[in-house]
Amino acid sequence: METKLSRRGFLSSLASAGLVRVSSQTLATAQPPVETELRVGACQILTFPDPRRSAEKICQWLERASKEALDVVAFPEASLCGYTCDKEYWRNVNPEDFRRAETTILSAAQKLRIAVVLGTAHWEIGTLFNSLLVVDRNGEMCGRYSKIHLAESWPSPGRRLPVWTLAGVKSCFIVCHDVRYPELVRLPAIAGAQICYLCSNESGLVEEHKLSAYRAMPISRATENSIYLVMANAPADPKNMFSDSQSHGNSKIVHPDGNVLCEAGYFGETLVSATINLKSANRAMAKKAAEDQTSIGQWLRDGALLVEQ
């Protein structure tokens, strides 16, 4: 017979399993800095199945980001493997190749004093995840976010929803298909996130019927929470428009009011960047959703307790 847990009981069971890392103080309405500016960028590039080659290219773009005085730069989903979905590739790949490539990128981030949100893959006790490696400006790891809602068969779904301080700003992270699940941004925004980094490798231009939704969802995640969103997507590849490793571009940075500050085209390999003012990321809509006395207010406040900080 199944036992139905109360909401509080559910949270307690997760806490005993080590899945809840934050106390109720998570819900405190921490104010953004009075005057804080940050230089953020999204790197729209094609990469390779070989992690070493991909790391070399990523480091070249980090050098370019350094010349633009960026504080943080995000790269597309699974950049280290060119987002390959080939089952044979994942059966034979060597995890050590990924670790070495990541070490190369960590060293470059430390040298250039740039925080990096890198699309990669990693293994935990033999389980493979489609993940983001989040590295601060000193070259130290904040952690790994593993894609929760999958659109591919090769990884396992992630189980953690974090908010980490990156370049001095509380930030949250989603990967591609995750953008269709608003709670993955709403709950971290309630818990304090002022920026969401979205790393993706979505369907290509050949699936034209999806393009309107792909444009709307990142903008919605920003404006419905009053936070910034930085989206790094792979460009379309004119030489192979049907390849898994290419997408439709349109990497962008979105203001908390929903306006797009800058946006790349479909095909170009490029770096889009903007100077953002954290005073604008006041999380007003996310906080209002949790604080208003509605039928789901308590549900949202309880949900924010699942966010790891």
Contact 306, 11 (CB under 8 A): yes
List, as one string, the DSSP characters of the chain. ---PPPHHHHHHHHHHTT-----GGGGS-PPPPSS-EEEEEEEE----SSHHHHHHHHHHHHHHHHHTT-SEEE--TTGGGTT---HHHHHH--HHHHHHHHHHHHHHHHHHT-EEEEEEEEEETTEEEEEEEEE-TTS-EEEEEE-SS-SSSSSBPP--EE-EEETTEEEEEEEGGGGG-THHHHHHHHTT--EEEEEE----TT-GGGHHHHHHHHHHHHHTTT-EEEEEEPPP-TT-TT-TT------EEE-TTS-EEEE--SS--EEEEEEEEGGG---HHHHHHHHS-STTHHHHHHHHTTEE-
CATH class of the 36-308 domain in this structure: alpha beta
Is pLDDT at 237 greater than 60 in this prediction?
Answer: yes
- What does the block give as tokens for 272? 């889009």
Per-residue pLDDT band for 36 (boundaries 50, 70, 90) equals confident
CA 163 to CA 171: how far, in whole Å?
A: 5
- Closest of 218, 225, 124 to residue 174, by C-alpha: 218
Q: pLDDT tens digits, residue range 83-120? A: 999 999 999 999 999 999 999 999 999 999 999 999 99
Contact 201, 234 (CB under 8 A): yes
Other CB atoms within 10 Å distance of the CB of residue 25: 9
CA 219 to CA 26: how far, in whole Å?
A: 25
| Average pLDDT over all residues of the chain | 91
Domain ranges in the chain are 36-308
Is pLDDT at 7 greater than 70 in this prediction?
Answer: no
Is pLDDT at 30 greater than 70 in this prediction?
Answer: no
- What does the block give as tokens for 33? 């800095």
Is pLDDT at 10 greater than 90 in this prediction?
Answer: no
Other CB atoms within 10 Å distance of the CB of residue 61: 20
- Closest of 222, 157, 225 to residue 189, by C-alpha: 225
Q: pLDDT tens digits, residue range 50-72? A: 999 999 999 999 999 999 999 99
Residue 6 confidence (pLDDT) = 44
In this prediction the pTM is 0.89
- What does the block give as tokens for 91? 């059966």
Contact 228, 40 (CB under 8 A): yes
Q: pLDDT tens digits, residue range 193-204? A: 999 999 999 999
Q: pLDDT tens digits, residue range 206-232? A: 999 999 999 999 999 999 999 999 999
Percent over 90 (pLDDT), the chain: 88
Task: Write phi, then psi, for 261 (nearest 5 degrees).
Answer: -75, -35
Residue 307 confidence (pLDDT) = 98
Is pLDDT at 3 greater than 60 in this prediction?
Answer: no
